[in-house]
Structures are given as structure tokens and as C-alpha cells.
Homo-oligomer: A and B are copies of this chain.
Amino acid sequence: MSQTVDRALSILPLLAQGPADLGQVAERLGVHKSTALRLLRTLHEHGLVYRQEDQRYRLGARLFALAQEAVENLDVREIAHPHLVALNDRCGHTVHLAVYEEQEVLYIDKVESRYPVRMYSRIGKPVAITVAAVAKLLLADLTEPERRAIAEKLDYPMYTSRSTPDAAAFLKELAVVREQGWATDLGGHEESINCIGAPVRGADGRVVAAMSVSAPNVVVTAEELLTLLPLVRRTAETISREYSGTNRPKKV
């Protein structure tokens, strides 16, 4: 763990929230302005940070290029995408694809129902890990000690009265999900939104990604949403088959 690099990298999420000037960066990093300046300069040279005309800093172009390459290396996404679209065509609801990476669950694709162009809205943002259907699916596939370790490290915010309250309940839920091969989130994150999900598996049977369909209560009830379960599971299995079949052995 390198202190200097650590500080420099801490600037990135800070700037992701919006442009900031030198003083703000220094303050939020807890370092002297001159130090912040030099770190920013280095980031700037690598194109990760951009300096706009008012001299404030924000994230730069190269970061986007890198991110693009990073996501291209996730070939699950490419394979899954057309199937997610097809699913969206049939049911009309929002479809998500997520992966587990380093103690986090991240959406890597999304097809939205009403506003097809508003796709970016949440991709890349960390998922509410204790309640989301995709998170349960991904965590349920870890080994028992891993699950336990993570469950105990997590916070359990009560987004709603139906949110997972604590580690014990979470582990129990994971066991259920693990056995039944699918997962739900019924109003656990937002009171009026329900969600059903299924796992995408690699050739060795391990879960490499998870997909879900979300819809608000006002459109369909939880019961109606659950009738889509076979369709969702079938889609996930189709993706799994294609992913395990056409792929080079060692990936993601």
C-alpha cells in the first residue's frame, strides 16, 4: 500500500462527483495544497484528470477510454446483451446484468423499459448488496466461509421494512437462493419496486454474472412479476449456454 498512490487515486472518486478546484481537493484529501497540486499534475499527465477553463479539475478523457477497455474485457456482457434486449422486448420491464468483483456487486448493463435512451443512469454504480436480487445470486455462489466473512462485514441499512435486517437473515436468504437457483427482491430496496433474478453460469457451473427484471408495483404486482420467472430463468440459461460454449477457457 503506497501512501502517495493511495492519495492520488482517492482524487478520482472525488472528482467523479463533479468538478473541484485545488483547494477543495487538498482539503478533502487532508493534504497541503502543493501536494494536491503535484498529484493532480501527475494524474493530468496521464489524462485521467482534465482541467477545464475555470481551472477546476474533473475526470479526463483517458479514463473513459480505459473504462471502455475494461468493460470490453468482460465478455459476459457482450454475449448477454442481445438476450437482455430480447427479454425486455417481451416483458417491457427494466433488465439488469451484474457481476461480483472485489466485495462489490456492480451493474454492467441495463435495458430500461420506458426511457430506452436513459440507459446510463445507474450502470457502474454499486448495488445495494444486502437486498438486490442480483447481489444475492452472486454472493450465494461463494464458498460458505466467504459468504460468512462478507455477511459479517456488511452494513444492513433498512431501506424499507422489508430490507434484510442482519447477517443471520442474509446468510439464511443466501442459502435459500443457492438452493432454488433464483432470487427476488420484493420491496427490499424501494418499497414499491419488485425484482426477480437468475444466475448466469460458466462452463464449470460457477456463477459469473446475474440478471434481473425489475418493475414497480403500479405496473405489475409481485405475483404477476413472479409469473415471468420461467422466462427469466430460461434467458439466464440461454446466456449461460452460449457463454460456456463459445468461450476461450480462462476468462472472468
Binding site for B on A (CB under 8 A): 1-2, 4-6, 8-10, 12-13, 15-19, 38-39, 41-48, 50, 52-54, 58-74, 81, 85, 88, 99, 101-102, 104, 106, 108, 111, 116-121, 123-126, 250-252
5 closest A-B pairs (Cβ-Cβ)? A68-B124, A67-B67, A59-B70, A65-B124, A64-B124
Q: Which residues of B contact A101 (CB under 8 A)?
A: 47, 50, 60-62
Assembled-state Cα–Cα distance A44/B73 (Å): 17
The smallest beta-carbon distance between A108 and chain B, in angstroms, is 7
Measured in the bound complex, the distance between the Cα atoms of B102 and A92 in whole Å is: 41
Contact of A66 among B67, B68, B88, B99 (CB under 8 A): B67
* B104 pairs with A70, CB closer than 8 A: no
Taking CB atoms, residues of chain B closer than 8 Å to A18 are 73
A3 CB, nearest partner CB in chain B, Å: 9
Apart from A13-B69, A59-B73, A64-B124, 9 more pairs, CB < 8 Å: A8-B9, A12-B66, A50-B102, A59-B70, A62-B101, A63-B63, A64-B123, A69-B124, A119-B119
A13 contacts which chain B residues (CB < 8 A)?
62, 66, 69
Q: Give the chain B neighbours of A73 by CB distance below 8 A.
A: 16-19, 58-59
Bound form: Cα–Cα A42–B1 in Å: 5
